[in-house]
Amino acid sequence: MADNQDAVPEVPLALVSNQYYETKIAQMRNRPVPWEGYQRANLITSEQLDLIQRIDNKSPQVIKELADERGDTYANLYLQILDTLNRPDTIQHVLLLIEDFLTDHEENVQYFHHASGNKPTYPFGPLFKHLRVNDDIVPLQASKILTIFASSAPSPSMVDLSPYFNWIATQVQSEDLRIVDLAVQELESILRVREYRLPFWETPKAAESLIHVLRRTSPGPQMQYQVIFCIWLLTFDAQIASTINRQYDIIPLLIDIAKSALKEKVIRVVIASFRNLVEKQPESNLAAMLVAKLLPFTENLSTRKWSDTDIVEDIEYLKAELEENFHSLSTFEEYSSEVETGKLNWSPPHKSEVFWKENAQRLNEQDYRLLRILARLLSTSQSPLVLSVAAHDIGQYVKYSSKDAKKIVQEIGAKQRIMELMTHEDQDVRYQALSAVQKYMTNAWEF
């Protein structure tokens, strides 16, 4: 992964390998398909029945010959049936026919893309519809085929995958890790196409749900690797690289995973993700990496033996960049990055009166962004350490900032919360809250 151009390894289009899915498909294959009954019930036409009987349950060689002779005909046939029918058992079998049509012959996907000439919603529209079917297997079949269609689309920028990404976002929240595994594997394939990265990122709950998989109890090394591989792909996009840590605190999370990882490939993809973040958006990520103590971790990693030369190059690159920026990182940048992570501790800036004299006013920047983060931490954090530091910092802000500081802190909701913390069970939280209140009273007689 050292060659960090916007390219990733080639993989087969139908890459999903999932035991749960394969068991369901095997069970389906063992059930006879009443095509003649479907035709008598007017679910399919006699012409469609004839085409299906020519290809159903035939050898791969026969399927290949029919695809070569009448590929466009079969692609349109399958899409038309999907477009018009809603009966789950029929749809299951049609989707299975499509999967067999594409298995080991990825070039056959071109016939489905040709179908867009007949109907603009083809080939994606009929499959989007079946993502919503209340059935154990149909949505999984449809999603796998959609992954193949999207990965091979001639003009990815023209494809709107919103229904698919919304479905993926829901599946990665599933309590069933077999479903999560399938959805993440599909993402690994789809995010290799650069045009799909930002649309996925902008899908409500999509990135959040994906990253949350890593915060679950014991997701397992393979799942960790697959999810972080998706994150690595996302970080090729500069816009995503600029905000992913600020939104999801991904840097300390990935460091923690790498520190405890038993598999080299997990560490490798973490380090490759960090390299992307530095190369694409250094100003958004280097300070946060230094605050999260990535430099000593890379120094430790550089002493180990690695089977993959790529990881050695990535580690050395990161170490060099972090060392260079360590010396130029201002105290305020260090403080700002720490606040953004939400993991406050008694690092030197907090207790430095000189720091607050010089920088308290800077908490007003960007519409009081850092001050608002401190206020949010007071309301959301369960950590006595974080609560103590946040209360202390707001008190210092009031002491050293402008005369409007008291009013601002009241407007953002921090005043009431600090008063509540004066009765907190933790002694230091109570002390820091009381100290902050005293600074209010010193700087303004009413509180």
240 and 357 share one domain: no
Residue by residue, what is the 3-state secondary structure of 325-379? Answer: HHHHCCHHHHHHHHHHHCCCCCCHHHHCHHHHHHHHHHHHHHHHHHHHHHHHHHH
Residue 315 inside a domain? The answer is yes
Token pair for 422? 């004066």
Look at the alpha carbons of 433, 435, 437, 440 in this order and tell me if their dihedral is positive or negative: negative
Out of 91, 120, 154, pick the residue that ends a domain.
Answer: 154
The encoded tokens of residue 397 equal: 């802000």
Q: Give the Å distances, CA to CA, from 58 to 63, 64, 101, 154, 383.
A: 6, 10, 11, 30, 63
Structural domain tally of the chain?
Answer: 3
Query: Quick check: is 53 in a domain?
Result: yes
The pLDDT value given to residue 8: 58
pLDDT of residue 7: 52
Residues 30 and 89 in one domain: yes
Q: CA torsion sign, 352 to 353 to 358 to 363?
A: positive
Judgement on whether residues 295 and 379 belong to the same structural domain of the protein? no
373 occurs within a structural domain: yes
Contact call for residues 358 and 306 (beta carbons, < 8 A): no
| Predicted local distance difference test score (pLDDT) of residue 32 | 85
Please check whether residues 50 and 136 belong to one and the same domain: yes
pLDDT of residue 326: 81
Residue type, 335: Y
Note whether residue 378 is domain-resident.
Answer: yes
Confidence at residue 447, expressed as pLDDT on a 0 to 100 scale: 38
Amino acid (one-letter) located at 241: A
DSSP string, 379-440: HH---HHHHHHHHHHHHHHHHHS-TTHHHHHHHTTHHHHHHHHTT-SSHHHHHHHHHHHHHH
CA–CA separation, 434 vs 447, rounded Å? 12
Answer yes or no: do 438 and 412 share one domain. yes
pLDDT in tens, the chain (447 residues): 544 445 555 444 545 788 999 999 999 988 888 999 989 998 899 999 999 999 998 999 999 999 999 999 999 999 999 999 888 989 999 999 999 999 889 899 999 999 999 899 999 999 999 999 999 999 999 999 999 999 999 999 999 999 999 999 999 999 999 999 999 999 999 999 999 999 999 999 999 999 999 998 778 999 999 999 999 999 999 999 999 998 999 999 999 999 999 899 999 999 999 999 999 999 999 988 998 899 999 999 999 999 988 999 999 999 999 998 887 777 888 899 889 888 899 988 898 899 999 999 999 999 999 999 999 999 999 999 999 999 999 999 999 998 889 899 999 989 999 999 999 999 999 999 999 999 888 755 443
Phi, psi dihedrals of residue 349, rounded to the nearest 5°: -55, -35
> Do 325 and 358 belong to one domain?
no
Helix (H, G, I), strand (E, B) or coil at 293: coil
Task: Determine the distance from the C-alpha atom of residue 49 to the mean position of all C-alpha atoms in its chain, rounded to a whole number.
Answer: 43
User: Could you report the per-residue pLDDT of 185-202, keeping only the tens digit for each?
Assistant: 999 999 999 999 999 999
Cis peptide before 282 (omega within 30 of 0): no
Q: What integer pLDDT is reported at residue 358 of this predicted model?
A: 92
Say whether 14 sits in a helix, a strand or coil.
coil
Print the domain residue range for 257: 235-329
Domain annotation covers residue 150: yes
Name which of 184, 278, 290 is nearest 238 in CA terms.
278
Are 315 and 361 in the same domain? no
Tell me which DSSP letter residue 157 carries: G
The DSSP symbol for 433 reads H
**Strand intervals (E) in 247-347:** none
| 429 belongs to a structural domain | yes
CA angle 27, 31, 36 (to 5 degrees): 150
Residue that finishes a domain, picked among 129, 154, 179: 154
Q: Are residues 101 and 8 in the same domain?
A: yes
Asked whether residue 198 is domain-assigned, the answer is no
Judge contact between 161 and 151, C-beta under 8 A. Answer: no
CATH number at residue 393: 1.25.40.150
Domain assignment of residue 209, yes or no: no
Count CA atoms closer than 13 A to 91's CA, side-chain side: 25
Residues 6+ apart with CB under 8 A from 433: 391, 418, 419, 421, 422, 424
Q: Are 150 and 18 contained in the same domain?
A: yes
Report the pLDDT value the prediction gives residue 3, as an integer from 0 to 100. 43
Same domain? For 376 and 435 the reply is yes
Same domain, 375 and 271: no
Q: Please, what sign has the CA dihedral across residues 151, 153, 154, 156?
A: negative
* Last-in-domain residue among 154, 185, 217: 154
Q: Are residues 5 and 118 in the same domain?
A: yes
